[in-house]
Protein backbone atom coordinates (compact mmCIF):
# COMPACT_ATOMS: atom_id res chain seq x y z
CA UNK A 1 0.00 0.00 0.00
CA UNK A 2 1.45 3.35 -1.10
CA UNK A 3 1.99 6.30 1.16
CA UNK A 4 -0.78 8.91 1.08
CA UNK A 5 -0.12 12.13 -0.82
CA UNK A 6 1.43 14.79 1.34
CA UNK A 7 0.25 17.76 -0.70
CA UNK A 8 -2.93 19.46 -1.78
CA UNK A 9 -3.65 18.54 -5.41
CA UNK A 10 -5.62 21.74 -6.07
CA UNK A 11 -2.82 23.88 -4.66
CA UNK A 12 -0.29 21.94 -6.74
CA UNK A 13 -2.37 22.54 -9.87
CA UNK A 14 -2.56 26.27 -9.07
CA UNK A 15 1.21 26.36 -8.70
CA UNK A 16 1.75 24.50 -11.97
CA UNK A 17 -0.64 26.88 -13.69
CA UNK A 18 1.34 29.90 -12.47
CA UNK A 19 4.64 28.37 -13.62
CA UNK A 20 3.29 27.64 -17.11
CA UNK A 21 1.66 31.08 -17.20
CA UNK A 22 4.92 32.81 -16.29
CA UNK A 23 7.30 30.83 -18.50
CA UNK A 24 5.19 29.19 -21.19
CA UNK A 25 4.97 25.53 -22.08
CA UNK A 26 8.28 25.07 -23.87
CA UNK A 27 10.42 26.92 -21.32
CA UNK A 28 8.93 25.02 -18.35
CA UNK A 29 10.53 21.72 -17.44
CA UNK A 30 9.16 18.99 -15.23
CA UNK A 31 12.01 19.82 -12.85
CA UNK A 32 10.77 23.43 -12.68
CA UNK A 33 7.27 22.18 -11.92
CA UNK A 34 8.44 19.65 -9.34
CA UNK A 35 10.51 22.26 -7.51
CA UNK A 36 7.73 24.87 -7.57
CA UNK A 37 5.12 22.40 -6.31
CA UNK A 38 7.52 20.88 -3.82
CA UNK A 39 6.89 17.21 -4.57
CA UNK A 40 9.00 14.34 -5.82
CA UNK A 41 9.34 13.36 -9.44
CA UNK A 42 7.31 10.17 -9.15
CA UNK A 43 4.53 11.90 -7.18
CA UNK A 44 4.28 14.54 -9.91
CA UNK A 45 3.98 11.92 -12.65
CA UNK A 46 1.61 9.74 -10.61
CA UNK A 47 -0.66 12.70 -9.87
CA UNK A 48 -0.67 14.60 -13.15
CA UNK A 49 0.92 12.42 -15.79
CA UNK A 50 3.43 13.90 -18.20
CA UNK A 51 4.12 17.57 -18.90
CA UNK A 52 1.56 17.77 -21.69
CA UNK A 53 -1.20 16.33 -19.49
CA UNK A 54 -0.32 18.67 -16.63
CA UNK A 55 -0.29 21.65 -18.98
CA UNK A 56 -3.68 20.69 -20.42
CA UNK A 57 -5.13 20.45 -16.91
CA UNK A 58 -3.51 23.74 -15.83
CA UNK A 59 -4.82 25.51 -18.95
CA UNK A 60 -8.30 24.09 -18.39
CA UNK A 61 -8.15 25.30 -14.79
CA UNK A 62 -7.15 28.79 -15.92
CA UNK A 63 -9.87 28.92 -18.59
CA UNK A 64 -12.46 27.72 -16.08
CA UNK A 65 -11.47 30.38 -13.56
CA UNK A 66 -11.71 33.04 -16.27
CA UNK A 67 -15.12 31.85 -17.44
CA UNK A 68 -16.47 31.79 -13.90
CA UNK A 69 -15.08 35.24 -13.12
CA UNK A 70 -16.49 36.67 -16.32
CA UNK A 71 -19.95 35.22 -15.62
CA UNK A 72 -19.93 36.76 -12.16
CA UNK A 73 -18.94 40.20 -13.45
CA UNK A 74 -21.41 40.21 -16.35
CA UNK A 75 -24.41 38.80 -14.47
CA UNK A 76 -27.01 40.78 -12.58
CA UNK A 77 -26.17 44.19 -13.99
CA UNK A 78 -27.51 46.21 -16.87
CA UNK A 79 -25.58 45.51 -20.05
CA UNK A 80 -23.36 48.57 -20.27
CA UNK A 81 -22.53 48.53 -16.56
CA UNK A 82 -21.60 44.85 -16.83
CA UNK A 83 -19.35 45.39 -19.85
CA UNK A 84 -17.65 48.38 -18.22
CA UNK A 85 -17.10 46.38 -15.04
CA UNK A 86 -15.56 43.50 -16.97
CA UNK A 87 -13.20 45.69 -19.01
CA UNK A 88 -12.17 47.82 -16.03
CA UNK A 89 -11.63 44.86 -13.66
CA UNK A 90 -9.61 43.03 -16.31
CA UNK A 91 -7.56 46.15 -17.00
CA UNK A 92 -6.86 46.64 -13.30
CA UNK A 93 -5.77 43.02 -12.91
CA UNK A 94 -3.42 43.44 -15.87
CA UNK A 95 -2.20 46.84 -14.65
CA UNK A 96 -1.38 45.44 -11.22
CA UNK A 97 0.70 42.62 -12.67
CA UNK A 98 -1.54 40.03 -11.00
CA UNK A 99 0.08 36.81 -9.87
CA UNK A 100 1.82 36.77 -13.28
CA UNK A 101 1.78 39.58 -15.87
CA UNK A 102 -0.45 39.08 -18.89
CA UNK A 103 -2.87 36.27 -19.65
CA UNK A 104 -2.14 32.56 -19.88
CA UNK A 105 -4.69 32.14 -22.69
CA UNK A 106 -3.13 34.87 -24.82
CA UNK A 107 0.38 33.58 -24.16
CA UNK A 108 -0.72 30.06 -25.10
CA UNK A 109 -2.40 31.34 -28.27
CA UNK A 110 0.92 32.80 -29.37
CA UNK A 111 3.14 29.93 -28.25
CA UNK A 112 1.19 26.74 -28.95
CA UNK A 113 -1.96 27.35 -30.98
CA UNK A 114 -0.15 27.72 -34.33
CA UNK A 115 1.19 24.14 -34.15
CA UNK A 116 -0.99 22.28 -31.62
CA UNK A 117 -4.47 21.66 -33.04
CA UNK A 118 -5.92 20.37 -29.75
CA UNK A 119 -4.77 23.43 -27.83
CA UNK A 120 -5.92 25.72 -30.63
CA UNK A 121 -9.39 24.13 -30.62
CA UNK A 122 -9.74 24.50 -26.84
CA UNK A 123 -8.64 28.12 -26.98
CA UNK A 124 -11.03 28.93 -29.83
CA UNK A 125 -13.88 27.45 -27.80
CA UNK A 126 -12.97 29.46 -24.71
CA UNK A 127 -12.50 32.68 -26.66
CA UNK A 128 -15.78 32.15 -28.48
CA UNK A 129 -17.64 31.61 -25.20
CA UNK A 130 -16.13 34.80 -23.79
CA UNK A 131 -17.22 36.78 -26.87
CA UNK A 132 -20.72 35.32 -26.57
CA UNK A 133 -20.95 36.48 -22.96
CA UNK A 134 -19.82 39.97 -23.96
CA UNK A 135 -22.25 39.97 -26.86
CA UNK A 136 -25.16 39.05 -24.58
CA UNK A 137 -24.32 41.94 -22.24
CA UNK A 138 -23.93 44.30 -25.19
CA UNK A 139 -27.28 43.14 -26.55
CA UNK A 140 -28.83 44.07 -23.22
CA UNK A 141 -27.17 47.47 -23.52
CA UNK A 142 -28.53 47.89 -27.04
CA UNK A 143 -32.03 46.87 -25.93
CA UNK A 144 -31.85 49.52 -23.19
CA UNK A 145 -30.75 52.16 -25.70
CA UNK A 146 -27.31 52.49 -24.09
CA UNK A 147 -25.20 51.37 -27.06
CA UNK A 148 -24.12 53.74 -29.82
CA UNK A 149 -26.53 53.71 -32.78
CA UNK A 150 -25.46 51.38 -35.56
CA UNK A 151 -23.05 49.41 -33.39
CA UNK A 152 -23.78 45.69 -33.60
CA UNK A 153 -23.35 43.80 -30.30
CA UNK A 154 -21.46 40.95 -32.03
CA UNK A 155 -19.00 43.38 -33.62
CA UNK A 156 -18.56 45.31 -30.38
CA UNK A 157 -17.96 42.04 -28.48
CA UNK A 158 -15.24 41.00 -30.97
CA UNK A 159 -13.69 44.46 -30.71
CA UNK A 160 -13.65 44.43 -26.90
CA UNK A 161 -12.27 40.89 -26.78
CA UNK A 162 -9.47 41.94 -29.11
CA UNK A 163 -8.76 45.03 -27.01
CA UNK A 164 -8.58 42.95 -23.82
CA UNK A 165 -6.21 40.48 -25.50
CA UNK A 166 -4.07 43.38 -26.70
CA UNK A 167 -4.00 44.76 -23.17
CA UNK A 168 -2.78 41.36 -21.93
CA UNK A 169 0.04 41.34 -24.48
CA UNK A 170 0.95 44.91 -23.57
CA UNK A 171 0.94 44.09 -19.85
CA UNK A 172 3.26 41.14 -20.51
CA UNK A 173 5.63 43.54 -22.27
CA UNK A 174 5.62 45.91 -19.30
CA UNK A 175 3.48 48.72 -20.72
CA UNK A 176 2.61 51.19 -17.97
CA UNK A 177 -0.62 50.77 -16.01
CA UNK A 178 -1.69 54.29 -17.05
CA UNK A 179 -1.38 53.40 -20.72
CA UNK A 180 -3.39 50.21 -20.22
CA UNK A 181 -6.11 52.21 -18.46
CA UNK A 182 -6.14 54.80 -21.26
CA UNK A 183 -6.64 52.14 -23.93
CA UNK A 184 -9.50 50.60 -21.93
CA UNK A 185 -11.11 54.03 -21.50
CA UNK A 186 -11.01 54.71 -25.25
CA UNK A 187 -12.47 51.27 -25.99
CA UNK A 188 -15.34 51.85 -23.57
CA UNK A 189 -15.92 55.37 -24.87
CA UNK A 190 -16.36 53.96 -28.39
CA UNK A 191 -19.45 52.02 -27.24
CA UNK A 192 -21.62 55.06 -26.50
**Burial readout 155-169 (b: 16 or more C-beta within 10 A, e: otherwise):** ebbebbbebbbebbb
> Does 1 map to a domain?
no
pLDDT, tens only, 136-154? 999 999 999 999 999 999 9
Which pLDDT score, from 0 to 100, does residue 97 have? 81
Mean pLDDT on 67-89: 93
pTM: predicted TM-score of the whole model, two decimal places: 0.88
For residue 2, being part of any structural domain is answered with: no
CA–CA distance from 55 to each of 6, 14, 112, 137 (Å)? 22, 11, 11, 32
CA–CA gap between residue 106 and residue 57 (Å, rounded): 17
Q: What percentage of the chain exceeds 90 in pLDDT?
A: 89
Does a structural domain hold residue 4? no
Would you say residue 168 has pLDDT above 60? yes
Residue 5 backbone class (left: φ over 0; alpha: ψ -120 to 50; beta: rest): beta
Question: Residue 114's domain spans which residues?
Answer: 9-189
In a domain, 3, yes or no: no
Residue 3 pLDDT more than 80?
no
Q: What average pLDDT does range 146-174 have in this prediction? A: 95
The C-alpha angle 191, 125, 188, rounded to 5 degrees, equals 15
Residue 134 lies in a domain: yes
Residue 24 lies in a domain: yes
Amino acid sequence: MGRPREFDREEALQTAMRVFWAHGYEATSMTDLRKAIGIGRQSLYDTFGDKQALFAEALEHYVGMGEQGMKQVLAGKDGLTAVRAFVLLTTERLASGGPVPGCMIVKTCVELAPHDPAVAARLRTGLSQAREQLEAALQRAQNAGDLRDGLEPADAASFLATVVHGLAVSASAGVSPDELRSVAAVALYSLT
